[in-house]
Amino acid sequence: MSRRTPKFSTPLPRTPPGPVRIYDTLREKVVPLEPLVPPRVGMFVCGLTPYKPSHIGHARTFVFFDTVARFLAQEGYHVFYVQNVTDIDDKILRVAAEERVDFSVVAERNFAQYLRDMDRLGVRSVNLYARCTDYLPEILEQIQELVDREMAYAAGGDVYFDVSRFPRFGALSKQRKEDLQPGARVEVDPRKRSPEDFALWKSAKEGEPRWESPWGPGRPGWHIEDTAITVNVLGPRYDIHGGGTELKFPHHEAEIAQAESATGESPLASIWMHAGVLTMQGEKMSKSLGNVLDLSSALSQVAPDVLRFFLLSGLYRSPLEFAGTASFEEAERAYRTLERPYRRGEELWREAREDGGPTLPEEVKAGSRRTVDRMVEALRADFNIREATAALYGWSREVGARWASVEPRRRADLDVELAPYRFARDVLGYFSVGTYAPPAAPGDLLKALVEDLLKVRQRARERGDFGEADRIREELADLGIRVEDSPRGPSWRLERGGT
């Protein structure tokens, strides 16, 4: 596949080539994406530590980077997207100890749940989920390399990275060593030579899981797995590193220090992307603060497609405020006003004639193309999803009037009119993610009964007995069956949570 080849099942208007521009935290400006080995793009995003079920704050980051990967693929890049899974760490051990089970039970249970939730949200672009515990040889090798180069030192079974040997430490987060407040939030380990040093290897305490190492039995520190994984999977340098903004310091600084010291190559990642946090009542949603909404609870309150839409609203770099149910309700209304015309268009497409070419006026075809162009341009400008969505709203107004009529249509025309929606579907994941439970799977018996009732109602309407007609409609509504009249006759569907 060459660059710029659309991946769509239906032809999409060609958008003129142009670079994707992304804000790079390290350089503090928007820079063009220039892959090291075009058209390949290597992308790594810091994954989660599955010690608890994940929440909608995590989902924001991962839904966003899923969209990044989808868009880059749409732009013709061959994306390889890696996410790590920190399946061994202090908190997992703590939970495992409480439950009296092996740490892997806790990690695998929560990770499996995470995968199910991500699947429901339409996150499907990750090519490799790399578990820390699957990379012990690579981790040990990288630590050894750092020790050999005297960038790290062993101390009582632990191994620490010597930050004083890496002057660029702090470049990403713009922190100067002297400005840091050691111990501001976390106790300083007395075995470190300097407070800013960080652990590469932690010696095993009594009863803890352990792996053998030249420094004694223990387990990897928090930061080392990511670079051991990326150096081996993506190489010493790669194109995009993503993660939540709160990981900038110290985690991403540590990654840079480790990888660049171990490989001697720089920069580790060409572009550092940071997704803003999800806040709740003005505070970061955080597992440790406890102000979290678990993904599974969220998905019991709101349809997955609406949740995805909500998480993608707003600029990815800014904080996104979650105001509880009100946020979901507003997102739902906003999303459905896009979804309704899309569904209508696809329905018309299914009913349309297959033969013949497009008959739409040129300005309609141009309008469709302009809309897609505007969406592509918005996404190329540092993933402005909001602007891309605004373009789709504009297009919805245009097709809304045409699609209200009952004239017969051609598929070729509808392909043109649907192109902007299909772009949103494929790239942003709108309209393609699960909606409320039974989408419309009424049994045959129910179907027959409802259709019969609607015939009775139609006869009542025809003889002007609107009282009876409305009564039938209301009674059906009470049963969760929604009836709507249109020039094409009545239609009905099961409401959310309906029969």
Partner RNA sequence: GCCGAGGUGGCAGAAUGGUUAAUGCGACGGACUGCAGAUCCGUUUCUUGGGGGUUCGAUUCCCUCCCUCGGCUCCA
Smallest distance from RNA to CB 390, Å: 4
Please pick, from the candidates 35, 47, 304, 367, the single residue that binds RNA as defined by CB under 7 A. 47
DSSP, res 294: B
- Residue 397 binds RNA, judged by CB under 7 A: yes
- Residue 290 binds RNA, judged by CB under 7 A: no
Tokens of 127: 């090519």
Residues 52-71 that bind RNA (CB under 7 A): 57-58, 60-61
Please pick, from the candidates 130, 275, 372, 418, the single residue that binds RNA as defined by CB under 7 A. 275
Q: Which is nearer to RNA, 6 or 252 (CB)?
A: 252
CB under 7 A: which stretch of 32-40, 114-122, 204-212, 310-318 binds RNA? Answer: 310-318
CB under 7 A: which stretch of 7-15, 205-213, 300-308, 313-321 binds RNA? Answer: 313-321
Residues 135-174 that bind RNA (CB under 7 A): 163, 173-174
Q: Which is nearer to RNA, 265 or 465 (CB)?
A: 465
Q: Could you give the string, one character per residue 74-113, with x where binding to RNA holds by CB under 7 A and - elsewhere?
A: ------------x---xx----------------------
Which residues are CB-contacts of 385 (< 8 A; sequence separation ≥ 6)?
Answer: 67, 312, 313, 316, 378, 379, 428
- Rounded CA separation 15/71 (Å): 13
Please pick, from the candidates 212, 283, 363, 451, the single residue that binds RNA as defined by CB under 7 A. 283
> Do 92 and 49 touch, CB atoms closer than 8 A?
yes
Smallest distance from RNA to CB 76, Å: 24
DSSP 73-91: HHTT-EEEEEEEE--SSHH
Q: Which is nearer to RNA, 317 or 370 (CB)?
A: 317
Q: Which is nearer to RNA, 180 or 204 (CB)?
A: 180
Alpha carbon separation from 195 to 85, 155, 253, 260, 499 (Å, rounded): 27, 14, 15, 21, 62
Please pick, from the candidates 39, 195, 236, 434, the single residue that binds RNA as defined by CB under 7 A. 195
Of all helices (H) and strands (E), which one includes residue 199?
A: strand 198-203
- Residue 244 binds RNA, judged by CB under 7 A: yes
Smallest distance from RNA to CB 343, Å: 10
Q: Which is nearer to RNA, 198 or 201 (CB)?
A: 198
The site for RNA, by CB under 7 A, has a size of 88
Alpha carbon separation from 403 to 11, 275, 344, 399, 417 (Å, rounded): 20, 38, 8, 6, 10
Please pick, from the candidates 22, 277, 379, 412, the single residue that binds RNA as defined by CB under 7 A. 277
- Rounded CA separation 435/121 (Å): 10
- Residue 409 binds RNA, judged by CB under 7 A: no
- Residue 5 binds RNA, judged by CB under 7 A: no
- Residue 219 binds RNA, judged by CB under 7 A: no
The residue type found at 15 is: T
- Residue 387 binds RNA, judged by CB under 7 A: yes
Radius of gyration of the chain (CA): 27
Residues 414-443 that bind RNA (CB under 7 A): none
In angstroms, the first-to-last Cα distance of the chain is 47
Residues 173-192 that bind RNA (CB under 7 A): 173-176, 179-186
- Residue 279 binds RNA, judged by CB under 7 A: yes
Residue 249's nearest CA partner among 160, 165, 161, 173 is 173
Smallest distance from RNA to CB 331, Å: 8
Which residues are CB-contacts of 331 (< 8 A; sequence separation ≥ 6)?
Answer: 302, 306, 307, 309, 310, 313
Please pick, from the candidates 26, 33, 41, 49, the single residue that binds RNA as defined by CB under 7 A. 49
200 burial type by CB count under 10 A (0-12 exposed, 13-18 middle, 19+ buried)? buried
Name beta bridge partners: 23: 30
Please pick, from the candidates 81, 198, 342, 431, the single residue that binds RNA as defined by CB under 7 A. 198
Residue 166's nearest CA partner among 182, 149, 183 is 149
- Residue 249 binds RNA, judged by CB under 7 A: yes
